[in-house]
């Protein structure tokens, strides 16, 4: 299983998710959007343009891909198989007395493993294509990143104005420049 987590520095949900994954001894790749703009482009593609953090991509061993937006323990427990299956609550039935002996069920036949052909065709791999970036795309990515950082940052501290008033001019009156009455 491969887990990729897209984060920014001051996101509390990203911190909670990383603690959760670490507590379950799961390794993950962290891609911090503030350190590499390409990670932001990648995250937007993975998350269908979800502009929030964290975004988590889980590539399971069976080929299943799960994308989780945000962090909730219950959602991660379910996606990673840590949640206990919900049991249906049935009313207990009284035991049935049987006069015939029960026969044990025969064991299930072993699973058949598929065989590989003698000359398998090698998989074709193509290098990942990175879309060309234009100034408009860079500006848009900068705006999204700035918005994410603003949402994660603590609110600014408001400093009240100082109660001290400016000192009065000498003599208590403002000074007025002398007019120049020179005649030519």
**Domain span at residue 68?**
1-83
The tens digit of pLDDT for each residue in 31-81 reads: 999 999 899 999 999 999 888 899 999 998 898 999 999 999 999 999 888
Domain of 17, CATH number, reads 3.40.30.10
Give domain status of residue 102, yes or no.
no
Q: How far apart are CA 140 and CA 41, in angstroms?
A: 10
Q: What is the mean pLDDT of the chain?
A: 75
Where does the pLDDT of residue 167 fall: very low under 50, low under 70, confident under 90, or very high at 90 and above? low
Instruction: Report yes or no on 22 lying in a domain.
Output: yes
- Residue 117 lies inside a defined structural domain of this protein: no
Question: Is residue 12 within 8 Å of 151, Cβ to Cβ?
Answer: no
Secondary structure tally for the chain: helices H, strands E:
4, 4
Q: What is the pTM of this model?
A: 0.52
Q: Taking 90 as the threshold, does the pLDDT of residue 15 lie above it? A: yes
Res 82 pLDDT > 80: yes
Which helix (H) or strand (E) segment holds residue 22: the answer is helix 12-23
Which pLDDT band holds residue 130 (cuts at 50, 70, 90)? low
Rounded distance, CA 131 to CA 44, Å?
13
């Amino acid at each position: 299983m491969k887990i990729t987590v897209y984060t920014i520095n001051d996101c509390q949900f990203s911190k909670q998710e990383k603690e959760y994954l670490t507590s379950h001894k799961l390794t993950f790749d962290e891609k911090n959007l503030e350190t590499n703009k390409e990670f932001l482009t990648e995250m937007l593609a993975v998350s269908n343009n979800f502009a929030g953090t964290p975004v988590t991509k889980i590539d399971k061993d069976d080929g299943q891909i799960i994308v989780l937006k945000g962090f909730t323990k219950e959602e991660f427990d379910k996606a990673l198989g840590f949640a206990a299956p919900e049991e249906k609550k049935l009313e207990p039935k009284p035991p049935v007395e049987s006069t015939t002996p029960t026969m044990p069920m025969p064991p299930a036949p072993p699973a058949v493993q598929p065989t590989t052909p003698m000359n398998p065709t090698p998989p074709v791999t193509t290098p990942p294509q990175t879309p060309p970036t234009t100034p408009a795309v860079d500006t848009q990515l900068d705006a999204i990143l700035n918005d994410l950082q603003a949402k994660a940052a603590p609110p600014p501290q408001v400093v009240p104005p100082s109660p001290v008033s400016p000192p009065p001019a000498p003599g208590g009156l403002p000074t007025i420049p002398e007019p120049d009455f020179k005649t030519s």
